[in-house]
Structure 1
Amino acid sequence: MKSKEHDFHLVDPSPWPIAVSAAILILALGLVGMLHKQISGIFGLVLGTSAVLWMLFYWWKDVIKEAIYDRCHTAIVKHGLKCAMYLFILSEVVFFIVFFCSFFKAWLNPVFLFEAFSPTKRIEWPPEGILPPNPWSLPFMNTLVLLLSSTTITSAHHFLLEDDKKSMIKMLSMTILLGIFFVIVQAIEYHEASFSLQEAGIYASNFYMITGFHCAHVIIGIIFVSVCLFRAQKDQFTSQDHLCFEFASWYWHFVDIVWIFLFVFLYWLSVF
């Protein structure tokens, strides 16, 4: 076997990027179909979700193998991975900024109602007939849940640096449970909402778009932290080498910060 003459990692050809892209397309089409109450949409959503999770499992398995057994993640490679994670989170920030721009436009500069092609009055915010969720009920509870989860994952990182595996695993487990609780409460809020996506126009579009995508990011974060929990139980992290854990922590804190902005502006200030 020829020895490496550089510190960079030349990735082997992999089927997972294109396969995951196809699975995400199926998932997205299934979600659209489900929103239009089509039976095929539910089938596509289940199939796409299952395919994405199955393929990500094997993709991450390959990456872990490269890191642990093939020793491909040198210091230079780790630096490149960190830069890639910075850019990924930056792209996610821009993703939510676009949604918030739509929300602020609808809230602070609403469109006019027209009669005989002439503007009469601006749409109120919230629009007439819309009863927004009480910010100090379920949304406030979820705010406390996410803030608590931010402390548990930070504590898990602290225990990792202290080589306290048992406490680290306990804190990671608590983070996952808090994330699942958040998703359940969000589902209850959707179920009890007085308006639906199809009925309430611009308000519902912004509300379900922002909160829905944030909830999806929480689910992704739960999967990310679950991978870290599994690897921690396998003793694959050390106090000096735990890049996957750092990435999961960054992502989780990003999701928490987005929710703070979401709670303050979407749930609280915009309804008064």
Structure 2
Amino acid sequence: MQKHSFHLVDPSPWPIFASIGLWGFTTGLVGWFHEYNYAGFLAFLSLISLVYVAIVWWRDVLRESVFQGHHTKSVQKGIMYGMILFIVSEIMLFFGFFWAFGHSSLAPTIDIAGVWPPRGIEVLDPFGIPFLNTLILLTSGASVTWAHYAILIGNNKQTQYALIVTVLLAAIFTGFQGFEYVTAGFTISDSVYGSCFYMLTGLHGAHVIVGTIFLMVCLMRSQLGQMRPDHHLGFELAAMYWHFVDVVWLILFVIVYYWGS
């Protein structure tokens, strides 16, 4: 008989399938960049397999939590620590690109004529779409907090309303980001400014899309009655991730859009 509160996970095929999918996606993507035959097809097929693995793996975790009751307080604490470490690793990733942007702007090399922004780069107005997106993302952070409060008081309808508002705001943010890309006067290949700008904003945009999917899953679970005041770790993780996205955008707005321009 088990004498501890931890969950011994059953054998699962999804980790190895996820590894194979990631290998195929990265290999296919690099091959596609170099115009190898069938590399694009390999990347697309691997991406589809990764999406499928993510869905079924997430499904299994929810089954263990909701229906089998394996997620005790000890298990939830471990998952929370894992999410915190994941966010710390993401902070380090963004820090590297912020460092590259800051170094290039504070000490512009002769390759870009020693000026910043580099000549020929028509920088974006920080108080246009970027400032509007800042307000949108901050509002979405407030609506996530509203959803959390609604869960704690057991108001499932308010939880759903707040999550719908958050998802809509996230979609609007992503739409404006795409419009900014289309109308920008420079590309990722336009000096170090373009490379750092699109890497930072694109990486953040990818995190927004992942966070939006995370919150949509929470919305569906709320509609199924799986968000309880005493057991809603999935939402707490989504809220942590979303607030991380908010903070990164604030730093990005100040450093890249305002100060860097």
Q: 180, 191, 197: which is aligned to 2:182? A: 191
Does 1:221 pair with 2:211? yes
Q: Secondary structure at the match of 2:225?
A: coil
Q: Deviations over 1:173-202 (max 9, x none)?
A: 11111111111111111111111122x111
TM superposition shift of 1:47:
2.9
The alignment partner of 1:98 has SS state of helix
Cα gap change, 1:263 to 1:157, in 2 (>3 Å): same
Partner of 1:9: 7
Amino acid at match of 2:18: V
- Trace 1:9-28 onto structure 2 (pairs within 5 A): 9-28=7-26
Matched ranges for 1:62-81 at <5 A? 62-81=60-79
Question: Where does structure 2 lack aligned partners over 5 or more consecutive residues?
Answer: none
Q: How many residues align?
A: 261
1:146 and 2:146 correspond: no
Counting only pairs closer than 5 Å after superposition, residues 119-138 of structure 1 correspond to structure 2 as 122-138=113-129
CA distance in 2, matches of 1:88, 1:186: 25
Partner of 1:116: none
* One-letter amino acid matched to 2:192: I
Question: In the alignment, what sits opposite 1:99?
Answer: 97
State which of 45, 52, 55 in structure 2 corresponds to 1:54: 52
Q: 1:268 aligns with which of 247, 258, 261?
A: 258
**1:222-237 to 2 correspondences below 5 Å:** 222-237=212-227
Relative to structure 1, the CA distance from residue 123 to residue 145 in structure 2 (aligned partners, 3 Å threshold; closer, same or farther) is: same
Partner amino acid for 1:234? L
Q: Within 2, Cα distance between the matches of 1:69 and 1:105? A: 51
Measured in 2, the distance between the counterparts of 1:187 and 1:60 equals: 29
Q: How many Å apart are 1:72 and its aligned residue?
A: 1.1
Q: Aligned Cα RMSD in Å?
A: 1.9
> 1:131 Cα shift?
0.3
Q: How far is 1:29 from its partner?
A: 4.4
Q: 1:201 to 1:89 in 2, by over 3 A?
A: same
Distance in 2, matches of 1:146 and 1:45, equals 31
Q: Aligned residue for 1:239? A: 229
Greater alpha carbon shift after TM alignment, 259-268 vs 86-95: 86-95
Q: CA deviation at 1:126?
A: 0.7
User: Structure 1's 31 and 192: CA in aligned 2 closer, same or farther, altered over 3 A?
Assistant: farther
Q: CA deviation at 1:9?
A: 1.1
Aligned residue identity for 2:250: I
Task: Return the match for 2:164 from 173, 178, 183.
Answer: 173
Aligned to 1:203: 193
Match of residue 156 from structure 1: 147
Give, in angstroms, the shift of residue 35 of structure 1. 5.8
Deviations 1:1-54 (A, max 9, x none): xx4222111111212122223323434445556666788565445433322221
| Structure 1 equivalent of residue 249 of structure 2 | 259
Distance 1:48 1:170 in 2: 35
What CA deviation, in whole Å up to 9, does each residue of 1:131-156 have, x standing for no partner? 01111111111111101110111100
Q: 1-side partners of 2:142 and 2:29: how far apart?
A: 33
Q: Which amino acid aligns with 2:235?
A: F
| Letter of the structure 1 residue corresponding to residue 153 of structure 2 | E
- CA–CA distance in 1 between the matches of 2:38 and 2:132? 35
Structure 1 residues 214 and 73: alpha-carbon distance in aligned structure 2, compared to 1, 3 A threshold: same
C-alpha distance in 2, partners of 1:203/1:111?
12
- The code of the aligned residue for 2:65 comes to A
Rounded to whole Å, the distance in 2 between the matches of 1:139 and 1:153 is 21
- What code does the residue aligned with 2:46 have? G
Pairwise CA distance, 1:206: 0.3
Unaligned runs of 5+ in 1: 114-120
CA distance in structure 2 between the aligned counterparts of 1:30 and 1:189, rounded to whole angstroms: 28
